[in-house]
Each structure stands twice: as structure tokens, then as C-alpha cells.
Amino acid sequence: MSALSTVFEKAKKENRAVLIGYLPAGFPTQESSIEIIKAMIEGGVDAIEIGFPYSDPVMDGPVIQEAAETARAAGITMKKTLEIVKETVKTGAPILMMTYWNPIEKYGVAKFADDFAAAGLEGLITPDLNFEEADAWLKASEKNDLHRIFVVAPSTADVRLSDVISHCSGFIYAASTMGVTGMRTAVSSGANELVARLREKTETPVAVGLGVSTGKQAAEIAKYADGVIVGSAFVKAILANPQDPIPAVKELAQELARGVRGEF
């Protein structure tokens, strides 16, 4: 059983959801991003989603885009992201990566899978890759035992949900809304409905992302989802505390960790 699967099994036994934290690789710098990820885990984050900063992030909202631009300006590369993965897997927490497809094609699909699996990566979230066009990735990920995590949205038709599910492993990423990433005052009711539709078709864990920023929102989603994904809130905490973001990051992680345990 993979580390990611173990985390979901453990959370299920504890009657709670898994907390997944997102951070762009190299934000605000390569070295500090490693320390921030460690602080997220120390604060109660169960698994980490490292985003690869990309020049055309169609799914990313303004907060994530700002962080990605900062990381790109600081010189983040796929090779440096590989080093971040190598360092953060030492925490023992499952490390995932979220990236648009173009950087992987540029790096080389087979080489990416070989290199990142060797570094300890658990799997990949591919927001702009359709499974119909994923043959090379399906083969490379299967060879390296990497989880394949595709994104579904409230607008996804039932017949397509079944097709996506059949190609997913680890968990299914359920986008709570059709919009881009970002903090919201309330999470769309479409998330609950989408998870319910997925539950009818699969026992694969479902994690909900896009818009979660508080412990109360995490608690709301944890009532019906197996996992809660938080990204923009962590980035905003870092941007608000540029001199020393660690305390703010850890405090937010602790609040969210209480949320997925239903303590709000």
C-alpha cells in the first residue's frame, strides 16, 4: 500500500478527512519552500501537493499566480523541483505534484516518471490533461507505481465521470466550482453533489479543492469528502508575513487540521 493510501485509511479509521496542503515549488524561494512545507506538516497537514509554476496557469487564481510568478522569477526549474521533492519526502508525508502537461512533455514523460518516482513522489495531479490524451503518462505512471489523479468538476457528465474514475488512483480531485483557485467566503454546494455522484460509482477516495481557506470550511467539506485540499490560504499567509511566514503557516495548518476533525 502506498503512503498516500495509508494516510486515507488512517483518516478513515479516525473518522475524519485527510488534509492536503498545496504550495508552488520554489515559493518564495527554493530553500524557504522546503521549510514552509515542513511547517505545514508539523501543523497537521497529512499530504503535500507541490505545484510546478507555469507561465499559462488556466486553473490558477490570482493568489497562486502571484506565487508562481515569484517562484519563476527566483529561477525555479523542474530539476530544482525534483530536489524539493527529495527533501520533503524525508518528512514521511506523501508528496504529490500538480502540474500542467506542457512542462512534463518538455522534460520527457518517461524521464519525468522515472526521476520523480525515484525521488519519492507519490503521484501527479494533471488539471489540463484529458485521459484520452494520456497514453504516455498512463504507461509511465503504471511502470513507476505513481498515482494518477485527474480533476472533475460539477459540470462533468455522469458518463465521463465513470471514464475518469477508471483512470484515477490515490484519490479523485473534485473541483468545488467551475472557477479558478482562490479563497472564498463559502464553498459551492456543487461540491457536495459532485462527491455524492462519485460515491455512487467508486470507492476511490474523493478530495475537494478550490476555495477552502478556514477551519470552518474544512469542517463543512470533511462531512462528506475524504480529503480537503487547501492552497491559496497558505500562499496568502506567506504573502502577508514575508519576513517569517512559518508561524502563520503552522497556525493555519493547525486550524485546518482541527477543521477536518470536525472541531468547528
Write out the catalytic residue numbers. 49, 60
Nearest to 229 by CA among 6, 23, 3: 23
Nearest to 249 by CA among 36, 72, 34: 36
d(CA 100, CA 82): 16
Q: Is 204 exposed, middle or buried (0-12, 13-18, 19+ CB in 10 A)?
A: middle
Cβ within 8 Å of residue 229, ≥6 positions away: 20, 21, 22, 49, 173, 207, 208, 209, 210, 212
d(CA 228, CA 180): 16
Q: How many CB atoms lie within 10 A of CB 89?
A: 17
